[in-house]
Structure 1
Amino acid sequence: MGLLRFSSTLLASFITLGQATNLYVSSYNGSITTLELTSQNGSYQLRSVYENAGCSPNPSWLNLDQPHGYLYCQDEGLTVANGSLSSFSVAEDGELTLVDKAATITGPVNSVIYGNRTGLRSIALAHYAGSAVSSWTLSPNGTFSFLQSEFFTLAQPGPVPSRQDAPHPHETILDPTGQFILVPDLGADLVRIFGFDATTERLTELTPLKVVPGSGPRHGAFWTPDGVSGGNSTTFLYIVTELGQTVTSYAVSYPAAGGLAFEEVYTSKTYGANRTEPAGTAPAEVAISPDNRFLVISNRNDSAFSIQSPGADNSSSVELSDSLSTFQLNQDGTLTFRQLAPAGGSYPRQFSLNKVGDLVAVGLQYSGRVVIFKRDVESGLVGDSVGVVQGLGNVTCVVWDE
């Protein structure tokens, strides 16, 4: 196991700083924290600048509608009867102001904005504990109104009864054409498919994608090799399963009769085809790099690395870290494993890459921190950390404001 050392630039408090970039962090502790990342001549400083409790008690996911200046937050409602949806206006310095808030079905953990980006727009929420998907119409002023809800049931528990006692939708994904919403359902071993009416934006459930029983699909990402929806290359869908610890690619087609069709192309453990993951590893997030060449997955509970504890005065102070897997995307939809890198702590529930792709921000739930790593755009490899903020509680999501 390699030893990762956190950059000493974190301790430089008197350097001249350049232009700032904001990030927003949600945490089960009840707050959204605004982080400010500044850089000058290759040196970085990351610090907390604002905190907002308007999405409490248990913020689980953030969706930044950057072109319109609003941040949407889901509260999972772990300690209360319902979840909630909140919207915030975003100031240039990263300060958030609550605009609207409404109670939802319990357990919202993810969202996606869909519809006409300049006209009628809506947001779809996946409700893990509520076994449902709900949708809400968005107004130009940041307010929203309830549109519909769809509930799901299971005739009997799945192969992993402790996790598959009921349907557990975990994410909402907009396909590259903007016409369909996909919902990985960890409890039902399905990727549910929804179309929506172009006028009302009401969702209609279509034939789902069935995955390996007991695998528990969690998150997914679409990829087209030429980067163009409807272009000359095939569209692929990559699904990460939390219980099966796999990543599977499917070639996606659009039948004339409607809906989506899938053909399995490739599957691998998230550790790569020739590696063995530790028992209990639970893959979480998956993302395509901005240059459309690599796929990155976070692995929780693998303790694959020893790292220097951030902020520790004694360089011998170490802790275990979970990991990030990087794969090269191949034209035929297969993957080539490239790297297993430290995630910077325990339980990387979610991560996001900046617009250029040379930085990756990792939200570490059990370590209560956000760590930012350098990333080599050409090779796709994750490098040293350049920033860390601790004491954030159970971090659930971190997004860049770019």
Structure 2
Amino acid sequence: MTSFKTLFLATLGVAPDVLGANLLASHYTGRIYSLSFTDGGNGATLTSASSTSGCGSLPAWLHVDGGSVYCVDEDWNGSGILASYSVGSDGSLRQTGQAVTAGASVHGTPYGGEDGHGFIATVEYDPSTLTTYKLPLGGSSTVLQQFKFNMSQPGPHVRQNTPHPHAAQLDPTGRYLLVPDLGADLVRIFSIEASTGSLSACEPGVASPGDGPRHGTFWAPQPNSAAGQMLYTVNELGNSVSAWSVSYPEGGCLTLQKSQTLSTYVKGSAAPNGAKAAEVHVAGNLLYAANRADQTFGAQNDSLATYSIDPGSGAIAWVEATPAHAWFPRTFSINKAGDLVAVGGQTSSNVAIVARDPESGRLGDLVASLRVATPGRPQQEDGLSAVVWVE
């Protein structure tokens, strides 16, 4: 791919091979890899620069927060790790903190305090818990607060025998923490007391039975405004995405009202057996979702679904499906310029860099791809777990 940035710098006489970027990829063998992407005049390259450990045996999720990176450990054996790192200019990591946890964490985010980095929340899939800790992390770190979720009866899907919180995500104001619960078909909402890190439960958003909401992303028609704000969730069990209108009542909690649900496959096409929608992101007025194990574009090549967002109503409409260039894409990340998407294939254990047109939002060709560590096994918890840009 010859990018706009490459052409622009070439007109100034600047060598295009200086266009570099860093990414991080975690792998279920226990390491985090620092990757270097270079968009050069003779083609793009993606290389592994270094790797580090320190996030337990199953690092499941990476959260970049300014110059810090947080990692959660999904270890299922009763003892896990919550770790923090600083990021060097070359993308290398230096561990800055580590705390022992009960394990089984699948997602986490910092929140609260004076600067939004005073505490961190994690969610544990099988224990059905939301857990918080004070930052910075260290040997004396202990649980600040823990919520144990329960259900009165199982859901319609076989995996909905118990609550399964799958993400802890902040709303754009930083005053609320949202927890999509795959098992309970809820988007749980918690108000944040910033100074103490204390969370208080609000009324949850209610998904349709069998949806299994996994992750979410926010959008608003105007930057830095709550007017017209929407939440979009990806529903793992229903292989769909849902649109939710967001309200901030005077003196009350954030509320969610589901307005729409669309399949992650073109109308008239059902999700293949074993397919699982995985991740969702917004860039401009476009919404993207990843499908795992559908192999829509051939053996071991799953799909990314694209939707347009109506700038007036926030309603979504199907645009197209494009190749993920990865097998079982558990994770993907859009860079700040909006011209590249990094896709992490869990089973193929590769990071694929895909071109994106910042104007139209359409996804294009494969720019570069790199195998990271060892491939996973189909439908198993091994292989590559997360990929993020460091910008």
1:399 is matched with 388
How much does 1:42 deviate? 6.7
Work out the percentage of aligned pairs sharing the same amino acid.
40
1:245 equivalenced with 2:226 (yes/no):
no
Any conservation in 2 of the 1:105–1:130 contact (CA below 8 Å)?
no
2:262 is matched with 268
Any conservation in 2 of the 1:247–1:267 contact (CA below 8 Å)?
yes
Q: What residue ranges of structure 1 are gaps of 5+ in the alignment?
A: 1-14, 307-318
Give me the TM-score of the superposition, normalised by structure 2.
0.89
How much does 1:142 deviate? 12
1:223 equivalenced with 2:219 (yes/no):
yes
How much does 1:265 deviate? 2.0
Counterpart among 280, 286, 299 of residue 291 in structure 2: 299
How much does 1:136 deviate? 1.6
Counterparts of residues 124-203 of structure 1 (less than 5 Å): 124-139=121-136, 146-161=143-158, 163-203=159-199
The one-letter amino acid of 1:258's match is G
Give me the TM-score of the superposition, normalised by structure 1.
0.86
Counterparts of residues 2-401 of structure 1 (less than 5 Å): 17-41=17-41, 43-66=43-66, 69-78=67-76, 80-116=77-113, 118=115, 121-139=118-136, 146-161=143-158, 163-230=159-226, 233-289=227-283, 292-306=284-298, 319-330=299-310, 331-393=312-374, 394-401=383-390
Structure 2 vs 1, CA of residues 93 and 395 (structure 1 numbering), >3 Å: closer, same or farther?
same
The one-letter amino acid of 2:326's match is G
Matched position secondary structure for 1:207: coil
Any conservation in 1 of the 2:20–2:37 contact (CA below 8 Å)?
yes
How much does 1:273 deviate? 4.0
Q: Following the alignment from structure 2 to structure 1, what is the Cα–Cα distance between the partners of residues 238 and 116?
A: 40
Any conservation in 2 of the 1:106–1:129 contact (CA below 8 Å)?
no
Q: Following the alignment from structure 1 to structure 2, what is the Cα–Cα distance between the partners of residues 263 and 99?
A: 40
1:313 is matched with none
Structure 1 window deviating more from structure 2 (333-342 vs 23-32): it is: 333-342
Any conservation in 2 of the 1:138–1:145 contact (CA below 8 Å)?
no
Higher relative contact order, chain-length normalized (CA < 8 Å, sep 6+): 1
Matched position secondary structure for 2:300: strand
Any conservation in 2 of the 1:177–1:229 contact (CA below 8 Å)?
no
How much does 1:119 deviate? 6.9
Q: Following the alignment from structure 1 to structure 2, what is the Cα–Cα distance between the partners of residues 119 and 182?
A: 15
Residues 198-245 of structure 1 show CA distances to partners (whole Å, capped at 9, x for unaligned) of 220111111111111121111111111112333xx3111111111111
Any conservation in 1 of the 2:24–2:390 contact (CA below 8 Å)?
yes
Structure 2 vs 1, CA of residues 173 and 391 (structure 1 numbering), >3 Å: closer, same or farther?
closer
Residues 138-194 of structure 1 show CA distances to partners (whole Å, capped at 9, x for unaligned) of 239999654221111223322123x11211100111112211011000011111110
Q: CA RMSD in A?
A: 2.1
Residues 104-148 of structure 1 show CA distances to partners (whole Å, capped at 9, x for unaligned) of 233111112212463762111111122101112223999965422
Matched position secondary structure for 2:203: strand
The one-letter amino acid of 2:281's match is A
Residues 328-364 of structure 1 show CA distances to partners (whole Å, capped at 9, x for unaligned) of 1112121122220111121000100001110000010
Q: Following the alignment from structure 1 to structure 2, what is the Cα–Cα distance between the partners of residues 158 and 373?
A: 37
Q: Following the alignment from structure 1 to structure 2, what is the Cα–Cα distance between the partners of residues 347 and 386?
A: 19
1:6 is matched with none
Matched position secondary structure for 1:305: coil
Matched position secondary structure for 2:98: strand
Matched position secondary structure for 2:341: strand
Structure 2 vs 1, CA of residues 332 and 275 (structure 1 numbering), >3 Å: closer, same or farther?
farther
Q: Following the alignment from structure 1 to structure 2, what is the Cα–Cα distance between the partners of residues 64 and 240?
A: 21
The one-letter amino acid of 1:59's match is P
Matched position secondary structure for 2:18: coil
Any conservation in 2 of the 1:87–1:142 contact (CA below 8 Å)?
no
Residues 244-277 of structure 1 show CA distances to partners (whole Å, capped at 9, x for unaligned) of 1111111111122411222322221112445433
Structure 2 vs 1, CA of residues 140 and 26 (structure 1 numbering), >3 Å: closer, same or farther?
closer
Any conservation in 1 of the 2:97–2:136 contact (CA below 8 Å)?
no
Q: Following the alignment from structure 1 to structure 2, what is the Cα–Cα distance between the partners of residues 142 and 24?
A: 25
Any conservation in 1 of the 2:110–2:116 contact (CA below 8 Å)?
no
Structure 2 vs 1, CA of residues 396 and 156 (structure 1 numbering), >3 Å: closer, same or farther?
same
Any conservation in 2 of the 1:171–1:218 contact (CA below 8 Å)?
yes
Any conservation in 2 of the 1:265–1:333 contact (CA below 8 Å)?
no
Any conservation in 2 of the 1:99–1:142 contact (CA below 8 Å)?
no
